[in-house]
């Protein structure tokens, strides 16, 4: 294990500099995938990659790769380090960008120290991870991992009616490389936690061993609209009250089961949505997550049984539409162990953990051993201008990434 | 008690004829207050009132009166019968119009039969009962009853940005009579029930003895937006789940109290309203009604106590805004008894009941003895093209109104 360290000042300056690109008149940061502001961020990243002496490759879905290879190791499958630089609307500066810029920082550090890796090391910045403009999220890494044909991905129509393919061409990032042309030996992604666990436990490093499965459903409950003043309580089919019971059932069920599952009803709409009319319809979404596939299935099944009972008890009709379903992902045990070893050697408190959010790493895990390193997020906040990680934690995470890169690229 | 009867054919034909006025290309009926279609309806009504030999008066707020008086009774305070002819959007044909046209039918029948009332009998059609275009509802009768100054009422700005005063002038119904110039001896309003009780109990006549008090509040619950995947259930401040508990509390509380109270959460809005974000805010309305003021206050108080507990238990902040508050109205016992006597004499099943909806009668009850007669609504539906009352029930209700008019105007 090497105890060399990255250049903290260079990393932190670049994070701030990239975070200044794509701000509007009110100072809000928004770099939606394949937008004009995304182009500005990409241009800056590519300039940095070039300045570090890396070879640039852009594939057909716009994923950017900065490749450090030598005549000696050019035949080997590369170690890939990366994340994404697109953002949500009114974003923070760390989500995604931190992992990409730390990957670049690790390579520059290793080059400066004369390290000669036995395999190439690649910085990757994947297209449209956030999924705000084009669905699904993690699109670039999904295509890279072979989960979606590039033609289909390029034809994706965004929330603004644009097509991803033409927008990429428009900003000059419709590359020529065939997606997946770089098959990694291993993939490591450094990211802010976007949750409260590390901060709450005063732990600097999360060794992410798996990623939750996700089940998204849209539920429509149909009752009967009626006059709020003249319809006795016992004669109602109130779609709103029936909907209210679903979220409370899920919370109680999870509490009883003592599982780490989470359930969220994030959207809700009533019809006719009038103060003096009993709701005839409630439409809402359910987000269920659990790191264990069997437990996630059991939770889906319990929900389904409850909705059946709800139809009887509330005199309503329930229909369910599946919006998305991802099985949990298990990361590579050897990489997770290397993260823990590095943290220990550097005197950093670490813990194994599950990622509750989706990340590019889950897509690359389809084709290569992969894992993630998390650092704390203040108050667990992300996708928000208040997103913040202490500089010391940012540096610590990058140093762990450095150690893991040395381990994975330093030995045959 | 007279056993003469109204002219069923004439009444039913006029209801259909007025119900054909104000339909759009799709056949939907909409006569919003002081609109061009309301003018067409008003013109037809005034033509019928004139043809029946009544004196027309229009007051400054556009209320229309058709007065039947003689030299002998012109000095007496009049018996007033009426309702309104404005409608909601995409309305049925009975709500309001039935009461106005039945009042006219009663007068024509009495004139034809040579009845000589000891006091004038007046048909009243009040402006803007529905409140769809201008708030509050029951505006014309509120002004007539002295509850709102006519200048303030005329200055009301509608949902379409128009002013009620100028729109009334525009359609030619900004009259000159001072509102309230006719102080009734008594007021009786015949109306469809707009609820399911009479139909369910196979009862033809509702003798409406009171009208529920109404409490409208808007509640805002503030929690904390957080990532749906990374925030453990126990660490959430979920505004949506807190909101869900409010409606269920109200239903359980009312069931336990065994009161006739009703509670409705008809509108609901989440922020940020995203599938994978815990709601930071839920905004919703609560409609509480009870015919007894003490019970309505107790229900408001129980709700307030629950919202206090909710703040503690759900780690949220609750704020409440009062939107409207009307105390319950008690109608005149003698008129209610007269309704029951008439129903019995005609072999019609009747019951005393409470009006859950608001009506012009509650405003006129401020200045005169008042009551209402209800007839069944099929499936309890109103404010809807499917609004329907059987012709036999429409005729039965009008005959009861006839009897009550004879009793109230026939003796000094």
| pLDDT for A65 beyond 80 | yes
Round to whole Å and give the CA distance between B369 and B361.
Answer: 10
Q: Name the one residue in this structure whose structure tokens are 């709450």.
A: A200
> Are A235 and A291 a contacting pair, CB within 8 Å?
no
Which of A5-9, A88-92, A295-299 has the lowest average pLDDT? A88-92
Answer yes or no: is pLDDT of B3 > 60: no
CB contact under 8 A, A275 and B268: no
Distance from CA of A267 to the nearest CA of B (A): 4
What's the CA dihedral at B237, B240, B241, B247 to 10 degrees? 140
Cα B326 versus chain centre, distance: 13
Q: From the list B195, B251, B254, which residue is nearest A227 (CB)?
A: B195
Triad B285, B288, B294: Cα angle to 5°: 145
Q: Do A235 and B357 touch (CB under 8 A)?
A: no
B274 → closest Cβ in A266, A323, A357: A266
Rounded mean pLDDT of A315-344? 95
- pLDDT digit string (tens) for B83-116? 999 998 889 999 999 999 999 999 999 999 999 9
| Set of chain A residues whose Cβ sits within 8 Å of the Cβ of B217 | none
Are A268 and B263 inside 8 Å of each other by CB?
Answer: no
Distance, in angstroms, between A184 CA and closest chain B CA? 28
Which chain B positions have a beta carbon within 8 Å of A264's beta carbon? 228, 238, 275-278
Domain with CATH 3.30.70.360 in chain A: 213-326
- The whole-angstrom separation of Cα B206 and Cα B98 is 15
- The pLDDT score that the predictor gives to residue A288 is 97
Residue of B nearest to A193 (CA): B230
- Beta-strand (E) ranges in B358-402? 370-375
**B273/A266 touch (CB, cutoff 8 Å), yes or no:** yes
B276 touches chain A (CB under 8 A): yes
Examine the pLDDT at A335 and tell me if it is beyond 60: yes
Residue B364 is predicted with a pLDDT of: 97
Work out the end-to-end distance of chain B between its first and last CA atoms, rounded to an integer number of angstroms.
Answer: 15
Residue in A closest to B195 by C-alpha: A230
Contact A262 B212 (CB under 8 A): no
The confidence score (pLDDT) of residue B48 equals: 98
C-beta atoms of A355 and B241 within 8 A: no
Chain A nearest CA to B75, separation (Å): 40
CB contact under 8 A, A268 and B269: yes
Q: In the structure, how many helices (H) and strands (E) does chain A have? A: 12, 14
Which of B194, B261, B323 has its CB closest to that of A230? B194
Q: Which residues pair with B55 in a beta bridge?
A: B67
CATH number given to B213-326 = 3.30.70.360
Q: Is the Cβ pair A227, B260 closer than 8 Å?
A: no
**pLDDT at A3 exceeding the cut of 80:** no
Angle between helices A36-51 and A8-19 (to 10 degrees): 160
CB contact at 8 A, A1 and A342: yes
Annotated binding site of B: 84, 95, 130, 191, 383
Window 138-197 of A: residues touching B by CB (8 A cutoff) are 193-197
Task: Give the pLDDT mean for B249-272.
Answer: 96
Q: Crossing angle of helices A391-410/A97-112, nearest 10°?
A: 60
Q: Which of residues 64-103 of A touch B (CB under 8 A)?
A: none
Percent of chain B with pLDDT over 70: 99
pLDDT at A106: 98
Q: What is the pLDDT of residues A142-197, one digit of tens each?
A: 999 999 999 999 999 998 999 999 999 999 999 999 999 999 999 999 999 998 89
Which of A231, A323, A384 is opposite residue B262, by nearest beta carbon? Answer: A231
Q: Determine the pLDDT at residue A173.
A: 98
Residue A359 structure tokens? 């990340």
pLDDT tens across A221-256, in order? 999 988 889 888 998 999 999 999 999 999 999 999
- Interval B169-194: pLDDT, tens: 999 999 999 999 999 999 999 999 99
**Global ipTM:** 0.79
For residues A296-316, average pLDDT: 98
Chain B nearest CA to A202, separation (Å): 16
The angle that helices A97-112 and A36-51 make with each other, rounded to 10 degrees, is 10
Q: Pick B357's closest partner by Cβ from A230, A233, A384.
A: A230
Which residues 342-361 on chain A approach chain B with CB closer than 8 angstroms? 355-358
- Best of A229, A255, A289 to substitute, by most chain B Cβ atoms within 10 angstroms, is A229
Q: Which of the four pLDDT bands, split at 50, 70 and 90, describes residue B1?
A: very low
The top-level CATH class assigned to A8-212+328-410 is: alpha beta
| Inter-chain CB proximity B276 and A266 less than 8 Å | yes
The shortest C-alpha distance from B216 to chain A (Å) reads 8
pLDDT band at A276 (very low <50, low <70, confident <90, very high): confident
Closest residue, chain A, to B214 (C-alpha): A229
> What does the pLDDT read at residue A412?
65
Residues A229 and B356: beta-carbon distance below 8 Å? yes
Instruction: Considering chain A, tell me which residue range(s) the CATH 3.40.630.10 domain(s) occupy.
Output: 8-212+328-410
Residue B272: pLDDT above 90?
Answer: no
**Shortest distance, CA B295 to any CA of chain A (angstroms):** 15
A304: number of Cβ within 10 Å: 12
SS3 A35: coil
Taking alpha carbons only, the member of B205, B201, B209 closest to residue B348 is B205
Supply the DSSP string of B314-354, one letter for each residue.
HT-EEEEEEEEEE--EE--HHHHHHHHHHHHHTT--EEEEE
Q: Which of A260, A176, A369 is nearest to B234 (CA)?
A: A260
Q: Best residue in B90, B159, B230 to probe A by mutation, most A CBs within 10 Å?
A: B230
Find the mean pLDDT for residues B159-176. Answer: 96
Q: Does A235 sit within 8 Å of B262, measured CB to CB?
A: no
The region of weakest confidence among A151-160, A321-330, B295-304 is: A321-330
Give the pLDDT confidence of A94-106 residue by residue, as tens digits.
999 999 999 999 9
Interface touch A247/B244, C-beta < 8 Å: yes
pLDDT in tens, A361-401: 999 999 999 999 999 999 988 888 999 999 999 999 999 99
Cβ-Cβ contacts under 8 Å, B230 against chain A: 193-197, 355-357, 380
Q: Which of A240, A248, A262 sits opposite B232 (nearest CB)?
A: A262
User: A229: which chain B residues are within 8 Å (Cβ-Cβ)?
Assistant: 195, 212, 214, 262, 287, 289, 355-358
Please check whether residue B27 is in contact with residue B47, taking contact to mean a CB–CB distance below 8 angstroms. Answer: no
Interchain pair A229, B289: CB under 8 A: yes
Of A230, A243, A248, the CB nearest to B245: A248
| Average pLDDT over all residues of chain A | 95
Do B241 and A248 count as a contact with CB atoms less than 8 A apart? yes
Mark the binding-site residues of B for Zn(2+), compressed into ranges: 84, 95, 130, 191, 383
Q: Which residues of A are annotated as a binding site?
A: 84, 95, 130, 191, 383
pLDDT band at A274 (very low <50, low <70, confident <90, very high): confident
Write down the pLDDT at residue A1.
43
Beta-bridge mates of residue B188: B81, B371
């Amino acid at each position: 294990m090497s105890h060399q360290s990255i250049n903290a000042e260079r990393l932190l300056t670049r994070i701030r500099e990239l975070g200044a690109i794509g701000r509007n008149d009110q100072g809000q940061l928004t770099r939606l995938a394949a937008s004009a502001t995304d182009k500005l961020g990409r241009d800056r990243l590519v300039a940095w990659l070039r300045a570090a002496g890396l070879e640039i490759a852009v594939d057909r879905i716009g994923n950017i790769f900065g490749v450090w290879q030598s005549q000696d190791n050019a035949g080997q499958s590369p170690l890939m380090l990366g994340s994404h630089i697109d953002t949500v609307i009114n974003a923070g500066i760390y989500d995604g960008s931190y992992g990409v810029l730390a990957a670049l920082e690790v390579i520059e550090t290793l080059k400066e120290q004369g390290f000669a890796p036995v395999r190439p090391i690649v910085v990757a910045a994947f297209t449209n991870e956030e999924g705000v403009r084009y669905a699904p999220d993690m699109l670039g890494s999904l295509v890279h991992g072979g989960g979606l044909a590039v033609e289909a991905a390029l034809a994706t129509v965004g929330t603004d009616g644009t097509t991803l393919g033409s927008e990429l061409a428009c900003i000059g990032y419709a590359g020529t490389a065939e997606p997946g042309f770089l098959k990694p030996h291993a993939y490591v992604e450094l990211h802010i936690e976007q949750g409260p666990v590390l901060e709450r436990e005063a732990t600097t490093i999360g060794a992410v061993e798996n990623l939750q499965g996700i089940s998204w459903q849209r539920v429509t409950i149909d009752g009967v609209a009626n006059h709020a003043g003249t319809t006795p309580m016992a004669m109602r089919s109130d779609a709103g009250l029936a909907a209210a019971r679903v979220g409370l059932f899920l919370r109680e069920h999870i509490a009883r089961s003592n599982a780490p599952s989470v359930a969220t009803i994030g959207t809700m709409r009533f019809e006719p949505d009038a103060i003096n009319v009993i709701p005839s319809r409630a439409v809402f979404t359910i987000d269920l997550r659990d790191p264990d596939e069997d437990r996630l299935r059991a939770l889906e099944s319990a929900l389904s049984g409850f909705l059946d009972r709800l139809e009887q008890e509330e005199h309503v009709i329930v229909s369910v539409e599946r919006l998305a379903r991802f099985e949990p992902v298990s990361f590579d045990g050897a990489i997770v162990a290397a993260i823990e070893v590095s943290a220990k050697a550097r005197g950093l408190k670490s813990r194994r953990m599950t990622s509750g959010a989706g990340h590019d790493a889950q897509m690359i895990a389809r084709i290569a051993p992969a894992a993630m390193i998390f650092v704390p997020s203040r108050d667990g906040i992300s996708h928000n201008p208040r997103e913040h990680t202490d500089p010391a934690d940012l540096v610590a995470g990058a140093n762990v990434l450095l150690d893991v890169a040395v381990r994975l690229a330093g030995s045959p």
